[in-house]
Structure 1
Amino acid sequence: MAITDDNAFELPRLRSSFTLENDTEFLENDNCAEFFDVKFCPYQPLDAPPVFAAISKKHAFHDTGRYLLSAAHDQIINLWTLPDLPTEAIQTPARVHYPHFSTSAVHSGIIDCVAFYGDCILSRACHDNVISLWRIEGFSSANPPPAESEAPTAQTTVPTNYEEASRLTRSAFVPTISPQCPSQYTMLLQFYTPNCGPQFFMRFKLHFVPDQHPVLAFCNAAGNVFFWDFERLVAYREFMEALKDPGRDKSKQLPHPSWMRLVKTRSKTDSKGRQGGGDKDVPSTFRADAIRLSEEIGDYNVETLETWASRYSQDDPHEPLKAHKTESSSANFVGRQTAWSPGGEWCVVVGSSNQALILQRWANKGSISRASASASASASVPPSVSAQNGAV
């Protein structure tokens, strides 16, 4: 397996932050000084200086423009199909009364943010401490949009008991569950976002443009900005498959990407009284698999294998993956919204106290072109395409 390490895998670093004066001083009904939104101007060349705006005081379109996601405080996520839009002036606007997919089963709290990743969905709710990546079974944007008459209504499903799955989910793509399709949606991955507490209105942002790595960014309620590079998940899977290949030459250690860092084995109790090695709070499933794999291959210690698995393994969709990189600012900063520049070089987070964090990657290596970012790395495949292989 060819391993290529270049700045395409680099993740942002915190460069600066600034705070604006309290703009709520003269408002009677709003004394909370917070930025709740930030956007980069998308209408500019990639080589132009990035411009962003932070705004004081959840919806998502599919790239095809035919589908819309909505979410709200009622814990429900809806997928709407947009009808063919008129090309001439009309007197009465078209109304879409029912979504073609609706579920309250994915999250149990107020839903903050939803986004498409290919045909799959990223979503987050307060109290969950995770961002979920999942797909609607049977849905493909490559197929013709379903007719309005196919949208399931609340009266279509009459639950026979509380445990019935269709009580929480309605879908035009899989109207009824069966042994062949036992679920109307499938959880693919979860990303661990600790220290969010009871806070809501905290939004992630996925940088997802052609010829660059998809990178998910999110800031928690303790000033920590988390990043996940989806291309690393693909590279890790390929590396582990090559590592487990019984036909490889085991006299030579397989080279690993530099971002898959080795972890030194510590004694049961080190000089500072700490136990073990590797990441803290690594799930027991990762630990058990790491012990077995270390005994089988012998190339890497248990601490290294379990640390890698806790960040990059896709084997268990219900074990949240730790961030690939974390940048920290003030512990009192609550992140509300994250934005990426069109070229992917800059990431801005806004939130409490009218504060904005500015993060940058590729700073010491010049501006990387979109073409060169992907030239030495395999193309990222949305999970909707690679779902048959069970991988992102």
Structure 2
Amino acid sequence: MLVVKIDDVSMERVGLFPWTRDIMADAIVFLREMGAKTVVFDLSYLDRSPVKVDPAYVQNELPGYLDYGFEQINSAVAQILDSIAGQNPTRDELEAYRDMLIEFNSGIKGSLDTSIAYVTRDVDEYFAKTLKFFGDSYLTLTMINANDIIGDEKTFNMANHDTEWLESRIALTDLSVQHDTKTPEAIGIHPAISLLLRSAKNTGFVNADPDADGYRRRVHLLHKFNDLYYGQLVFVPLLDYLGNPEVTVTDSAITLTNAQVHGTGTTIRIPRTTDGSILIHWPDDETPLEKYSNAQYIRELLYEGEQPDDGITFATYRDYREDFFSSAAKLIDPAYEQAILADLDPDDTELTEEVF
């Protein structure tokens, strides 16, 4: 596991945390490019983001579209005026010229409207596309317990949340229960907004209460809501990594049957404490968790300033990465994908198998 941290240098270059979702979306594309298999966000995206103006587009691209549009209008007007110069057109002819000019300008207006629409960017839509583009992406849930509600009425309104998706796609399915009285029961779930929830591969809850001295030594791997079981944020992608083994829950343990470890089916028994949680095994001082910033990772991976074995210099990689990001929005656009697939030769079996 590699932890890519958001450090002081990152915040100096990008801005104070939390970063906007388009920045996190670019990070997803970058991690996919660097070969990451799974990306897990320990952040709760509970509300829609405000629409964001794209300053780079406004400064670098929009002026060109506007200039081209008005040049087309000027050219059309000049051609019509030149065609009637020195003539005495009838009223019907003038009306015909007028209609031609209006029709032409209407087409230009449609083109400019499209160009202006890109001034603003729905960062949630972009973030959702990158979550789907990455594939193995995971977001958070917050399980609402009765003690979280202030007041006598211990209820949580689920009307504005995507209950259907939670129950059909997020709740654990390959699970059997044999006398479980210790799994906490929630009165509600607060997930990410539906657009993001439905774009990620899965989600897991992040509830983790500290011990009395402030340290977190234990965590629940399961919570229940409406008699369905939901997994913790690390546990859910771990189950996928292990080939989605059958999960058996008892008061004493959570057992994973036929978990795939290095290609071999294995039974893993995770003992539970008296309250149903599991104790976390912290690494000792001799095996500290390694952390990297983006820059550190790239430097160590590509040997900045040197020539790696694969022949890619750091400068070449930097240029390639810039090109990659400039094409990312197009790459995750379903319409663009369909256009590519439409050009495939269905008789080219080798290429078709590689694509699919």
TM-score if structure 2 supplies the norm length?
Answer: 0.20
More strand by proportion, 1 or 2? 1
More helix by proportion, 1 or 2? 2
TM-score if structure 1 supplies the norm length?
Answer: 0.19
* Greater RCO (CA < 8 Å, at least 6 residues apart): 1
Q: Which has the larger radius of gyration?
A: 2
